[in-house]
Each structure stands twice: as structure tokens, then as C-alpha cells.
Amino acid sequence: MDKRPLTLRTYRRLAIAAAPFASLVLARRLNRGKEHPVRLGERKGETAATRPAGPLVWVHGASIGEMLAAMQLIDRIRDEGFAVLVTSGTVTSAVLAEQRLGPGIIHQFVPMDSPPFIKRFLDHWRPNLALFVESDLWPNLIMESAARRVPILLVNGRLSVQSYDRWRLAPRTIAALLDRIDICLAQTAADGERFANLGAPRVVTTGNLKLDMPAPPANGLQLAELQTALSGRRVIAAASTHPGEEAAIVEAHRRLRATFPNLLSIIVPRHTERGAGLLDIAKAAGLNAVTRSRGFLPDRGIDVYVADTIGELGLVYRVAPIVFMGGSLVNHGGQNPIEPIKLGAAVLHGPHVRNFTEIYTALDTAGGAAMVSDTGRLAVQIGAWLTDAQARENIAACAQDTVAALGGALERTLAALEPYLMQLRLEPRQRHA
């Protein structure tokens, strides 16, 4: 008798029924730039890649943020001698994988959440351990993996209050999924409590892996080229911005340019395909702007430089001593401030930072960041830091101390994984004993 809740059984049947239409869905997503044109088969569990010999650890993260958080963990597992398969669901994360994943680490797009595709994926890769990063809990992916007795761990687990409230409306459904996860390694005690309340049988608070992330890399030649173009200019950056925030940055620049005539604002949109549209916002404000994706560098006549490329935040953070973190003036939940802090930038953010509540609360309490609630306060705070370099440097130093004090999640996560990795080491010996 199938003991799964009716919701999961219904979802499974609908996913199976929808499988024949997958090609149509993928074609539509491809036209919108949301799929890789030569890797569509991976979304159906098809691949030309070969499974490596020996135990295979599978790490899954939804997109760039989750992959970045898990990057050091992936490297450490690989250094232990295990083959690693990394899956994600976005084109931008695939670009990041190509740039950052080391040799011997395989990247694939995660299959669509339909049993035929997941079975094909699992038949081919036969993972021995599954690590799901943060909160990307696809029902069929979890159910099919658990049915094959693949141990599933949630690492860097995060569950917002909003998600928690939604899952409470379907308690048997989320409990059935969490019951199939061996252990939830939560970012914070509050995250852990929410997971436990929803039915997770084992929860451990290990901290946020993003706090242990190294500073993002930068190409040396490209950095030197950009620094030369910016010589003598004052630079601010707005990173991972969302619609509505770019207009605020442009307006802040317009208010500040009389006082700081050599000011350059670099805008890095969260979704790079929006780059061309940001030129219109700048031009409507009477500012000159170019996009990096078209090969431009910011010469003296440029006010706004739109860095609409992937994997180059390391460049931006190295040339901008002041960084506004996007997703926080609009109600998105905020973006991760750790990378600019590790490169010595002073960080500004809006009031909507629920995705990183612990980090921003610690920073704001310690005086390691500044919260601004609107365009006017954004312009005032940027102007103050441009005027007083010492105050800006003190903020940045305080932020680095705060982040260092909150670290340690990587080692705690590895300690929690060690029994599972030890079992994988023993299994080949037991088979040949």
C-alpha cells in the first residue's frame, strides 16, 4: 500500500502525465534564454557523460548562490578522493560551474521533476550520497532517490518564515519529504527549529557556508585593464540588482555627480539579460552608459557602467570600495554581502534582507554595514563615505571582523558528513572482503 500523502501521489501522477510535453516546455524556456541549447537532454536525464568509477557524491543546488555556497565543500569532498557530480537548474549556474569547478568534478543540469526523467538520471549516475543545498526540495527527486536508498542530506539548510508558513498549509506533504532526508544541517537555530517543526527527524545547526566562502576570483589581465580605465575616478557599485533598484542607483548618481564629477556607478544586474534595458534607465536620467557584455570599458565620458556578464563580481568588488547589495530596496529578500566584505568594500543595503537575516543583523549591530530605506538616504550615505574615506574603511574592517567571527560552517558541515563519507570508503573494501 502506498503510504505517501495524496498530494504527493497526485503530484507524481501529474508529473508522469506531463512528461510527453517536456520538449515543448524546454523549447519555450530555450527561447527565453533559460535553457542551454546543446544540453537540453540533461533535463530529461539523458547525457553523454560517463559515470566515474567508485563512490559518487551528488551535490545539488538550484542556482548560482547555492553553488557558490557549496564550492569549498565540493572541493574538500573531491580532495578526499571521491568523484563528485554537481547538478543545478539555471544557465548562469552552468557558466559558473565551467569557470569554477575543478578537474574531475562533473556538472549536469538537474532533470525535470518527472519520474521517467529522474529514473533515467539515477539509473545512469547511481549516486551513493546526495547533498541538497539550502532548500531546493523537488518532491519526485527526493522520493525517487530515497526509494533507491540513497542517503540524502540537506546542507546549508535554509527555510524562510514565508516558506515555513506555506508548508504549514500542507503538513503531511512536507513531513513525508523531510522524513526521507537523513539529516538537515541548518544555517541557523531558527532555520533548524522550522525544519524540525515541519517533521525533519534529525536537525543540526552548522552555520552558513557562505560565511566561509573565499573572495571571488578575478582575471589579472582584465583587472589591470579595468583599473587603468578607472584611474583617478571615484567608483561605487550596485551588485545583484533587481527591477526598481537600478533606477534608485541612477538617481543617486545623478544627485551626487555635481559634488563628485568623476564618479562612476557600476551596476551588476542579478539577471544579465536585463543589461540593455538598464541603458535606457541611465539615458532617461541624462547619464551616459555602456554595457560590459558588448566589450566596452568605462572611459571618462561614461557615468554608468552596466556589468551584464557572468562570474565577474570579483572584478567589480576589487575596484569599488562602496557596494550596495541588491534585492534589498525592493521586497526580494536581499543578496549575500559576504564577497564584497571579504574584498574590503563598505556595504550598503535596503530594509528587505530576510534571506540573510542573521548576517545583516550582525553586521548592522556591529556597525559593519549601513541600511538605507530609499533613494535619498542611499545618495546621502554614499556621499558621506565618498567624502570620509576613514569612516568607510572603519565600516569595512568591522564587517570583516564580524564575518570572521560568524564563520566555521565548512568544518562543522564536514564533521557531520564524515560518517557518511567513511561508509563510502568502507563499502568497496566490504565488497571485496
Residue whose C-alpha is closest to residue 133's, from 89, 174, 166, 101:
89
Clarify whether residues 104 and 249 are in a common domain: no
Q: Is residue 20 part of a domain?
A: no
Is residue 66 part of the annotated active site? The answer reads: yes
pLDDT at 430: 56
Tell me if 263 sits within 8 A of 257, measured CB to CB: yes
Is the pLDDT at 87 greater than 50? The verdict is yes
Clarify whether residues 238 and 137 are in a common domain: no
Percentage of the chain modeled with pLDDT above 70 = 98
pLDDT at 1: 59
Clarify whether residues 271 and 146 are in a common domain: no
Percentage of the chain modeled with pLDDT above 90 = 88
Q: Is residue 165 part of a domain?
A: yes
Grid cell in block for residue 86: 554537481
Grid cell in block for residue 410: 565548512
Q: Could you tell me the residue range of the domain that residue 331 belongs to? A: 220-406
Please tell me the number of Cα atoms within 13 Å of 57 on its side-chain side: 27
SS3 string, the chain, reads CCCCCHHHHHHHHHHHHHHHHHHHHHHHHHHCCCCCCCCHHHHHCCCCCCCCCCCEEEEECCCHHHHHHHHHHHHHHHHCCCEEEEEECCHHHHHHHHHHCCCCEEEEECCCCCHHHHHHHHHHHCCCEEEEECCCCCHHHHHHHHHCCCCEEEEEECCCHHHHHHHCCCHHHHHHHHCCCCEEEECCHHHHHHHHHCCCCCEEECCCHHHHCCCCCCCHHHHHHHHHHCCCCEEEEEEEECCCHHHHHHHHHHHHCCCCCCEEEEEEECCHHHHHHHHHHHHHCCCCEEEHHHCCCCCCCCCEEECCCCCCHHHHHHHCCEEEECCCCCCCCCCCCHHHHHCCCEEEECCCCHHHHHHHHHHHHHCCCEECCCHHHHHHHHHHHHHCHHHHHHHHHHHHHHHHHHCCHHHHHHHHHHHHHHHHHHHHHHHHC
Is the pLDDT at 129 greater than 50? The verdict is yes
Grid cell in block for residue 163: 516558506
> What domain count does the chain have?
2
pLDDT at 136: 85
Clarify whether residues 279 and 334 are in a common domain: yes
Instruction: Compute the average pLDDT of residues 92-103.
Output: 88
- Residue 6: CB partners within 8 Å, gap ≥ 6? none
More reliable by pLDDT, 321 or 428: 321
Q: Is residue 12 part of a domain?
A: no
Clarify whether residues 126 and 226 are in a common domain: no
Distance between CA atoms of residues 212 and 215, nearest Å: 9
pLDDT tens digits for range 137-188: 999 999 999 999 999 999 999 998 989 999 999 999 999 999 999 999 999 9
Is the pLDDT at 92 greater than 50? The verdict is yes
Clarify whether residues 259 and 349 are in a common domain: yes
Q: Is residue 177 part of a domain?
A: yes
Residue whose C-alpha is closest to residue 244's, from 363, 330, 372:
330
Q: Is residue 3 part of a domain?
A: no
Clarify whether residues 306 and 396 are in a common domain: yes
Clarify whether residues 157 and 249 are in a common domain: no
pTM of the prediction?
0.86
pLDDT tens digits for range 325-340: 999 999 999 999 999 9
**N-terminal to C-terminal alpha carbon distance within the chain:** 38
pLDDT tens digits for range 233-290: 999 999 999 999 999 999 999 999 999 999 999 999 999 999 999 999 999 999 999 9
Tell me if 262 sits within 8 A of 277, measured CB to CB: no
Place 433 in a pLDDT band, splitting at 50, 70 and 90.
very low
Distance between CA atoms of residues 22 and 15, nearest Å: 10
Q: Is residue 393 part of a domain?
A: yes
Tell me if 154 sits within 8 A of 201, measured CB to CB: no
Per the DSSP assignment, residues forming a β-bridge with 322 are 236, 346
Instruction: Compute the average pLDDT of residues 126-141.
Output: 95
Assign residue 310 the CATH number of its domain: 3.40.50.2000
Q: Is residue 337 part of a domain?
A: yes
Tell me if 210 sits within 8 A of 336, measured CB to CB: yes
**Triad 325, 186, 356: Cα angle to 5°:** 15
Clarify whether residues 225 and 170 are in a common domain: no
Clarify whether residues 233 and 260 are in a common domain: yes
Tell me if 209 sits within 8 A of 155, measured CB to CB: yes
Q: Is residue 29 part of a domain?
A: no
Catalytic residue among 35, 42, 66, 339: 66
Tell me if 194 sits within 8 A of 159, measured CB to CB: yes
Clarify whether residues 245 and 188 are in a common domain: no
Residue whose C-alpha is closest to residue 206's, from 419, 429, 414, 59:
414
Clarify whether residues 258 and 302 are in a common domain: yes
Mean pLDDT of the chain: 94
pLDDT at 104: 82
Distance between CA atoms of residues 146 and 198, nearest Å: 18
pLDDT at 152: 98
The strands making up 234-241's β-sheet, listed across from edge to edge, are 289-291, 304-306, 263-269, 234-241, 322-325, 346-349, 370-371
pLDDT tens digits for range 5-43: 999 999 999 999 999 999 999 999 999 989 999 999 999
Assign residue 180 the CATH number of its domain: 3.40.50.11720
Residue whose C-alpha is closest to residue 392's, from 328, 326, 323:
323
Tell me if 402 sits within 8 A of 201, measured CB to CB: no
